[in-house]
Structure formats: structure tokens, C-alpha cells
Amino acid sequence: MEQLIIILAVVVVVVGGGGTTLLVRTRRRVPRAPDRTEVQGGTTAAPGAAGTAAPYLAEGGSAPPDLTATPAAPPAPAVEKPPPSAGRLVRLRGRLARSQSALGGVLLGLLARDRLDEETWDEIEEALITADMGVTPARQLVEELRTEVKVAGTRDAEEVSSLLRAQLLVQVGVDLDRSLHTERHGDRPAVVLVVGVNGTGKTSVCGKLARALIGDGHSVLLGAADTFRAAAADQLQTWGERVGAEVVRSDRGGADPASVAFDAVNQGIERGVDVVIVDTAGRLHTKAGLMDELGKIKRVISRHATVDEVLLVLDATTGQNGLRQARVFAEVVDVTGIVLTKLDGTAKGGIVVAVQRELGVPVKLVGLGEGLDDLAPFEPEAFVDAIVGG
């Protein structure tokens, strides 16, 4: 895509239960600087360069290795250092869809009216519902805000804006545990299962998350358990190459996904990696079929390791449809966190509130673009600030 990639692939064949899996090691070199990209609020370097002086240094700052020679043993993957994951949402705030600040503009405009009558409050509620927040939270927010404005006895724009901000924060939830559980268990890696409908950005999330974890000092192995789509494993492998993570995949399409997941975790244990991320198939064929497939993957992994996170990937632009998908997944597997992708698109921010309420599970990560580093830990304050312009 944006860079010339030189790949050294060493393939180790591993015979696993129910089929043959391949452990694919990759190494890459990025010989040129990243493209410049226009973002809201000015020009900045392409994803991956944010906030770093020399973003595309090979790990440790050493010179790129000579890839023309055939090495006897594969050296450690060399990957440009990603920026730290903490505080990314603040840095990527310009990426949040303009619809977020448009919502804030509408709400603040309504609150600035001379008379805050019944009709105006109805309009405020309507604006929140139109932003995918859901009827109940929108009503709650309006009721609380109405009381607060009355009690404060103020119509000062700044004060009203800060009351709105506080109420939005209540709905988004400041006290939810949004941490990702990716710590090793003794000699066992942490395991993250990534589930969701195809097209939501599931495979990209696996790759971006791997990169973020690597940037935070973890070693990561990817498991291509989406064996249904022929291209899925290739796609994950490409991500592995981009981010410097090894990939365990089957050598044939249609292999048993649980067997690939099992092999991935076993390889993770053998190789002493910190985190194994397993990509799964996203067919919503039948609820029973999905339950069987994800249930089996989880059971099989649990024989050797603990599934620490089940991350459900949802496309934030799909609104109600996305919520329906979320419901089905939550019924078949214990989702521990939501990844809302494409919040840089036409998504409406209220979906954050709606989906958390629907599933009782926090949004832990948000996708804000197609670049390697466009996945950010969700931070309620930064998100609400993008709405009300804080």
C-alpha cells in the first residue's frame, strides 16, 4: 500500500490437532518516510508518526538488516516503533467524525435559545436520539440536564455547556473498567478473542491491536481462526507482516477454526509470547452455528490458557443494525469489551452509549481510520470533549 515492503518469510510447519497449521514469521523494512495526510485542525504525519520525532526507526534504532542474504536462522522481527497507545484518542481527536461536533453544535444551539420551553427540550431529546443514543438514555439525559439548568439558574453559555458535558459523561460512563486484560499468566500468554461480523474491521483490529501491544512492550502472536473466507488468513498475515507479529494459520481453507485457535495458543505458549490474538469468522449464518463455532473455539483454548478478552468489533456507522448484531454475539459468547470502528466516518457518537447499555459491556477501543495506529483506547473525557468542543 503506502510503503515498499520487503518481506522475509520463514515458514515452520507445525502439525496440530485436526489439521496442519503454519507458523509464519515475517520481517519488514520501510525504506521511505510516511505520506503526509491532511486531518482536521492541520497537517500531520501519516498514521504511525503521531507525536514521534523519528517514527519509522527500526526497533532499537539499529540500521536495517541486509535482506538479500539468506540467514541461517530467522532474526527477530524489525518493525518501526509505534507511538504509545495511552492518550491516543486525544491525539486522534481530529479524526472523530464531524458529526460528533455537529451534535454538540445542535445541542448547544438549542440550549442557547431565549426560552427553554417544552418544545426545545423535546428537540434536544430528538437530537440525542437521532445521534443513535437510544430513547431511554436520551430521556434520562434531558431530564437531568433540565433539572441541573434549573437548579443552577443560569443561562450562561459556558456554564450550560459544562452541565451538558457532565451529563454526557454520565451517559458515556466514567467509572467503567475499560482496561484490556493482556497480562501473561505465569508461563501462559494472555488470549484475546476477536469476534464480530465480517466487514466491521475485525481483522484490522487484530493487526492494530497487535501493533499497539508490541509498542507497549509485549510480544504478540496472531491466530487466523477465520478459516471460512479464503482471503481472511492472507489478510491477517499481511497485518502480521506490517506490525511484526507472527501468524499461525492453516494451510488449507475451511480448516477447523478451533483447531487453528488451539495451535495458535500452543505456539504462543511454546514461544513464550505475551499475548495471542485470535481472529474469528464473522458469519451470522445461524445463531446456533455461531454459538457452536465460538463456543468450541473458547472451550478448546481454555484447555491450555485463559481467554482474557472477547472483543466484539462493531462498525459504528451501522447504527441500529450494529446493535442487532451486538445482541446476537452477546447471546452466544461472553463479550468483555466492545471495539467501535469507523468512528472517523459518518458514525454518530450516541452509539457508544447505546451499545454499552444494550450489552452492559464497556467500549474499550475505538477505530479512527485505516492506518496502523488508528486504534485508540476509549477515553470518555476526550470523546465528550469532541462533542461539546472542550
**Shorter beta-carbon distance to ligand GDP: residue 126 or 370:** 370
Q: Does 200 bind ligand GDP (CB under 6 A)?
A: yes
Q: How far is the CB of 149 from ligand GDP (least distance, A)?
A: 35
Q: Does 242 bind ligand GDP (CB under 6 A)?
A: no
Burial of 36 (0-12, 13-18, 19+ CB in 10 A): exposed
3-class SS string, 170-225: HHHCCCCCCCCCCCCECCECEEEEEECCCCCCHHHHHHHHHHHHHHCCCCEEEEEE
Q: Does 342 bind ligand GDP (CB under 6 A)?
A: yes
Q: Which stretch binds ligand GDP (CB under 6 A): 158-166, 211-219, 257-265, 342-350?
A: 342-350
Q: How far is the CB of 185 from ligand GDP (least distance, A)?
A: 27
Burial of 43 (0-12, 13-18, 19+ CB in 10 A): exposed
Q: Does 37 bind ligand GDP (CB under 6 A)?
A: no
Q: How far is the CB of 10 from ligand GDP (least distance, A)?
A: 25
Residue nearest to ligand GDP (CB): 367
# residues contacting ligand GDP (CB under 6 A):
19
Residues 6+ apart with CB under 8 A from 56: 30, 33, 34, 48, 49, 80
Count CA atoms closer than 13 A to 360's CA, side-chain side.
Answer: 3
Q: Does 345 bind ligand GDP (CB under 6 A)?
A: yes
H-assigned helices in the chain = 88-91, 98-111, 118-130, 135-152, 157-172, 202-215, 230-243, 257-270, 287-302, 319-332, 350-359, 380-388
Task: Report residue 141 as a C-alpha cell.
Answer: 439525559
Neighbours of 331 (CB within 10 A): 12
Q: Does 367 bind ligand GDP (CB under 6 A)?
A: yes
Closest alpha carbon to 75 in 27, 29, 30? 27
Which residue in the set 3, 101, 203, 266 belongs to the binding site for ligand GDP (CB under 6 A)?
Answer: 203
CB 132, CB 326: distance < 8 Å? no
Q: How far is the CB of 35 from ligand GDP (least distance, A)?
A: 16
Q: Does 198 bind ligand GDP (CB under 6 A)?
A: yes
CB 389, CB 225: distance < 8 Å? no
For CA atoms 369, 329, 87, 373, the dihedral sign is negative
C-alpha–C-alpha distance, residues 193 and 63, integer Å: 35
Q: Does 282 bind ligand GDP (CB under 6 A)?
A: yes
Q: Does 370 bind ligand GDP (CB under 6 A)?
A: yes
Q: Which stretch binds ligand GDP (CB under 6 A): 7-15, 70-78, 194-202, 263-271?
A: 194-202
Which residue in the set 310, 335, 368, 372 belongs to the binding site for ligand GDP (CB under 6 A)?
Answer: 368
Q: Does 344 bind ligand GDP (CB under 6 A)?
A: yes
CA-to-CA separations, 60 to 63, 81, 120, 165, 215, in angstroms, rounded: 9, 8, 58, 42, 12
Q: How far is the CB of 199 from ligand GDP (least distance, A)?
A: 5
String of DSSP letters for 91-128: HTGGGS-HHHHHHHHHHHHHHTSS---HHHHHHHHHHH
Q: How far is the CB of 313 from ligand GDP (least distance, A)?
A: 6
Give me the 301-340 binding string for ligand GDP, x by CB under 6 A, dash otherwise: ----------------------------------------
First to last CA, the chain: 36
Which residue in the set 167, 171, 259, 341 belongs to the binding site for ligand GDP (CB under 6 A)?
Answer: 341
**Shorter beta-carbon distance to ligand GDP: residue 23 or 233:** 233
**Shorter beta-carbon distance to ligand GDP: residue 207 or 244:** 207
Q: How far is the CB of 125 from ligand GDP (least distance, A)?
A: 29
Q: Does 250 bind ligand GDP (CB under 6 A)?
A: no
Q: How far is the CB of 146 from ligand GDP (least distance, A)?
A: 35
Q: Does 202 bind ligand GDP (CB under 6 A)?
A: yes
Which residue in the set 369, 376, 380, 385 belongs to the binding site for ligand GDP (CB under 6 A)?
Answer: 369
> For binding to ligand GDP (CB under 6 A), which residues are involved?
196, 198-204, 235, 282, 341-342, 344-345, 367-370, 374
